[in-house]
A and B are shown apart, each in its own frame.
Chain A
Amino acid sequence: MSVLVIAEQRDGKLNRATWETIAAAQQAGGPLRVAVIGAAVEAVAGELAAAECERVIAVEDQALGEYTADGFVLALSALIEQEQPALVFLPHTYQTRDFAPALAARLGRPLITDVTGVKKDGDRLVCVRPMFQGKLNADVAAGGPPPHLVTCQIGAFRADSAARGAAAAPVVKAAVAVDVSRIRQKPEAPFKEAKQAVDLSQASRIVAVGRGIKAQENLKVAEQLAQALGAELAASRPICDAGWLPMDRQIGSSGQTVAPKLYVALGISGAIQHLVGMKGSRTIVAINKDADAPIFEVADYGIVGDLFEVIPAIVAELNRS
């Protein structure tokens, strides 16, 4: 069963979900090829050549520089005709969700979406996909002539388990003509709701400040500690309400929920609205002037004191070691 993985890239940057898809495709077995399409994809193709696969196919066309569903369906259906794979694997990204149904319809082939696991049943590939909002898992196998299309749920397969080849795989260019007149969409500049939010849930250490910091210019005290610890800076609600830090750094019931290895709470009293956002942290260190502050009820280490005296001392000690 030959497998074709369709990589996803934007502006020459590979979407890391591609590696997860490659890992899934390798589990499906059979000779593997990886295709990447766009206007200039040489660098990405080179990157993908590290995967254990037969070859990497670079599909380049100016008309594919900006994503359009029509352009991608035209290019990929032509490519699949040429390559004749038994299976086509795609990452279940927003972009894939946009064009994959049209691609499957164009080819007249089945599409199994949002797959979280694959297993072989003799000659057949059985895909596992969640149903009823994840309450049930269904085993799904496609019927009819190949190719069958499969999209892989993000995070379901491990990117680092994708096998790398002993030597780089050859990169070949595919000649696929895209008829521009058949592209009906005109993309506008990609829409961004706001500037990229900080994903505090990924941080392993967080230094969070509360009202006890008193003034915006005092934030640099906390920043120094964050820097010394290699931590992200976060805050309780009043700090973000005051505009001293952006709202995407707010921890708590109306902000983000985090569980880092280390959470240092500076001048945070520990209102329950804040605690629900951080009480899962592995080690909580609290520094507060008020010995009765509820933050000490969840803290593993507490320092009752003036944070403007305590933090510089900690920072000095950290920088010494």
Chain B
Amino acid sequence: MPQQAERETLDVDVLIVGGGPAGMSAALRLAQLQKQHGGEPLSIAVLEKAREVGAHMLSGAVLDPRALRDLVPDFQQRGAPLGATVREDHVYFLTRSGKFEFPITPPPLDNHGNFVISLNRFVKWLGGLAEAEGIDIFTGFSAAEVLYDGNRVAGVRTGDRGIGRHGEVKSTFEPGVDIRARVTILTDGVRGNLTKAVVRRLGLDAGRSPQQYALGIKELWELPKGRVAEGTVIHTMGYPLRMEEFGGAFIYGLPDGLVSVGFVIGLDYRDPMFDPHVTFQHFKRHPMVASLLRDGQMVRYGAKALPEGGWYTVPRVFADGLLIAGDAGGFVNSMRLKGIHLAMRTGMLAAESAFEAVRAGDVSAASLQSYERRIAGSDVKTELYPVRNVHQSFNHGLLAGLAYSGFSLVSGGWWVREPMLSHAGFERVQKIAEYYRDGRPDPDATVNPAKIDRQLTFDRLTNVHYAGTRHAEDQPSHLIVHDTDICRTRCREEYGNPCIRFCPANVYEMVDAGDGTRKLQINASNCVHCKTCDIMDPYQIIDWVPPEGGGGPQYEGM
């Protein structure tokens, strides 16, 4: 770390790291509590790595408005960008060229009363409300590390700026700022880099099941008017996934002919040659989907991982000076395919506990444990506890999963073994030699390629362009591969470099090393911050760390 510049410090009462739905709801709730209770105002800051509020937000998305109703009761009058009210739900099971509609919509997928939204617009709106309440939102600042006093979380250090590609200090160097806080609320999203570090250091996942992740890939399409009515919600299962793979697609109708089309794939597939991005292309080529998208235009692209493990995978979400909320804590209902309302709710509950603790002058874990009690007494538990084993049941295949899902609706989620046994997804990927017993596929070719026509289907690189992602070029790679020798030797042999397939943004490439072998090339500036590589690498040697603040995708309407 270069020494010539003095590091600045900033002291606040409550620091919120990550300006997503959880972080913004926490900020807004804190502002409300302050108003309600009066007294010396708390200083509150929100850190957000995107250049502007909402630019890194991506979701399907269907919003269950219950947390919003509590947080902003007059949300309609205040112009909440809620897209379209859900008017119809369809669930299909797809075969290679056919489809079967579920005669009744399974209850968890009933979206009556919900809204089809753009999360990016929604969070921008929430951020505006928070700013109007006087909350400081620092955009373009990434949080690089957690600051500790002993084992007490004392705030975060923001990332340095102006470090060159090889770690050299540039003339634009500015050291990161130490933001010291009495309570730090981590809302750094799925596989948040700070949450990951703090959970590890403080052992917050002791006794919890491993998190189960999925990868969501999404495109926004402009379609001829009337093709997909606004408020239409379509979910599919089956093709192009096989019985052994968990996931499905969504098609959501927004106003003005805009349609969200996406695919969610469990990051616990067994086939090392499986390619989520190609699978999404196959999906779009299915006759039902292709006919919907015909003559339309893909206008945006993005990808994001999501935590689907549910109740038993939520770590301990409090420690001395620390609270964790939203996707960072794993608050997603994978059976309902929803997490925004839980992110908002946990953000609000975290705010209440933080406010109480700061006012009481006791920010110890014992004091902040009130957050856990609040969650247990809220709709977060009533929603997540009954489906606590559902995602894990899909570890045993689609049929077992569907059977258990139905069973859980009547059993209240009970299973003979609590929690149901599960493994981290990356451990389930098999080696090529185990999976392909009849012959080794070429690791550089796609096993089941999809025709790319750049109308309906796209290659990764073209898609990435539509994510609008940008990073300062002259900075160290923010994807740290701890041992690239493994890539060219062991991984190539054992797994065929799955990173080049599971990354939806063409960050990882195996290029000619000039000596007949291949070597890893990291195109870090393509990264859309989905975190899949950090999650899915079979050797767990990839660390996603935040790039220089402001870098990343530029999602608009996603």
Binding site for B on A (CB under 8 A): 191, 193, 214-215, 238, 241-242, 247, 253-254, 271-273, 276, 294
Q: B378 interface residue, CB < 8 Å from A?
A: no
* Interchain nearest-CB distance for A219 vs B (Å): 14
A231 to B324, CA, bound (A): 58
Instruction: Flag whether B492 is at the interface (Cβ < 8 A).
Output: no
The residue of chain B having its C-beta at the shortest distance from the C-beta of A273 within the complex is B465
With A241-B523, A247-B473, A254-B525 known to touch, is A272 a contact of B465 (CB < 8 Å)?
Answer: yes
What are 6 A-B pairs at a CB distance below 8 A? A215-B514, A242-B511, A247-B473, A254-B473, A271-B461, A271-B465
Nearest CB on B from A46, distance (A): 37
Bound complex: CA A152 to CA B523 (Å): 43
Interface flag for B521 (CB, 8 Å): yes
- A214 smallest CB distance to B (angstroms): 8
Residues of chain A with a CB closer than 8 A to B521's CB? 241
CB distance from A192 to the nearest CB of B (A): 10
Q: How far is the CA of A294 from the CA of B452 in the complex (A)?
A: 11
Q: How far is the CB of A235 from chain B (nearest CB, A)?
A: 14
11 additional contacts, CB 8 Å, given A193-B171, A242-B511, A272-B461?
A214-B512, A215-B514, A238-B511, A241-B521, A241-B523, A254-B473, A254-B525, A271-B462, A272-B462, A272-B465, A273-B461
With A and B bound together, what is the CA distance between A95 and B454 in angstroms? 50
Q: Are B454 and A294 in contact (CB under 8 A)?
A: yes
Q: Render B210-222 as a binary contact track against A, CB cut-off 8 A, 1 for contact.
A: 0000000000000
- Bound Cα distance from A151 to B384, whole angstroms: 68
Chain A interface, DSSP helix/strand/loop, else mixed: loop
Q: How far is the CA of A85 from the CA of B333 in the complex (A)?
A: 78
CB contacts (< 8 Å) of A215 on chain B: these are: 514
CA distance A215 to B515 in the complex (A): 11
Interface string of B474-515 (1 = CB under 8 A from A): 100000000000000000000000000000000000011010
How far apart sit A215 and B470, CA to CA, in the bound complex (Å)?
28
Instruction: Tell me, in angstroms, the Cα distance from A253 to B523 when the chains sit together.
Output: 14
Interface residues in chain B, defined as those with a beta carbon under 8 Å from any beta carbon in chain A:
171, 454, 461-462, 464-465, 470, 473-474, 511-512, 514, 521, 523, 525
Q: Would you give the shortest CB distance from A250 to chain B, in whole angstroms?
A: 9
User: Are B465 and A253 in contact (CB-based, < 8 A)?
Assistant: yes
Report Cα–Cα, A191/B462, bound state, in Å.
39
Shortest A293–chain B CB gap in Å is 11
The one of A191, A241, A276 that contacts B171, using a Cβ cutoff of 8 Å: A191
CA A294 – CA B465 in complex, angstroms? 15
| Bound: A241/B524 CA distance, A | 11
How distant is the Cα of A253 from the Cα of B462 in the complex, in angstroms?
Answer: 12
Determine the chain A residues whose CB is within 8 A of the CB of B171 once the complex forms: 191, 193
Given A193-B171, A241-B521, decide whether A254 and B461 contact each other with a Cβ distance below 8 A: no
Task: Name the residue in B464, B470, B473, B514 with the highest tally of chain A Cβ atoms < 10 Å from its Cβ.
Answer: B473
B511 nearest CB across to chain A (Å) = 8
Known contacts A191-B171, A215-B514, A294-B454: A254-B465 contact under CB 8 Å:
no
* Closest beta carbon of chain A to B410's beta carbon, Å: 51
Residues of A within 8 Å of B454, CB to CB, are 294
* A193 to B511 CA separation, bound complex (whole angstroms): 31
Quick one: closest A residue to B512, CB to CB?
A: A214
| The 6 residue pairs across chains A and B that have the minimum distance between CB atoms | A272-B465, A271-B461, A272-B462, A273-B465, A254-B473, A254-B525
Q: Name the residue on B nearest A255 (C-beta).
A: B473
Which residues from B are CB-within-8-Å of A276? 465
Q: How far is the CA of A215 from the CA of B513 in the complex (A)?
A: 10
- List the B side residues contacting A254 at CB < 8 Å: 470, 473, 525
Chain B nearest Cβ from A195, distance in angstroms? 14
Residues of A within 8 A of B514 (CB): 215
What is the distance, in angstroms, from B500's C-beta to the closest C-beta of chain A?
Answer: 15
| Smallest Cβ-Cβ distance to B525: which chain A residue | A254
| CB neighbours of A272 from chain B (8 A) | 461-462, 465
Q: Which residues of A contact B462 (CB under 8 A)?
A: 271-272
**Interchain nearest-CB distance for B378 vs A (Å):** 45
Of residues A191, A238, A242, A272, which shows the largest number of chain B Cβ atoms within 10 Å of its Cβ?
A272
Which residues of the other chain, A, contact B511 by a CB distance below 8 angstroms?
A: 238, 242
How far is A214 from B473 in the complex, measured between Cα atoms in Å? 23
- Alpha-carbon distance between A272 and B460 when the two chains are bound, in angstroms: 11
List the B side residues contacting A238 at CB < 8 Å: 511
- What chain A residues lie within 8 Å of B464 (beta carbons)? 273
Q: Whole-angstrom distance between the alpha carbons of A193 and B171 in the complex? A: 7
How distant is the Cα of A294 from the Cα of B454 in the complex, in angstroms? 9
* Distance between A209 CB and nearest chain B CB, rounded to angstroms: 15
Q: Report the separation of the CA atoms of residues A193 and B454 in the bound assembly, to the nearest whole angstrom.
A: 40
Which residues of chain A come closer than 8 Å to B512, judged between CB atoms?
Answer: 214
A20 to chain B, nearest CB (A): 29
Tell me how far the C-beta of A128 lies from the nearest C-beta in chain B, rounded to whole angstroms.
34
Chain B residues whose C-beta falls within 8 Å of the C-beta of A191 in the assembled complex: 171
Q: Could you tell me the distance between the alpha carbons of A122 and B461 in the complex, rounded to whole angstroms? A: 61
Q: How far is the CA of A271 from the CA of B454 in the complex (A)?
A: 11
Return chain B residues, CB-CB under 8 Å to A242.
Answer: 511
Which residues of the partner chain A approach B523 to less than 8 Å between Cβ atoms?
Answer: 241
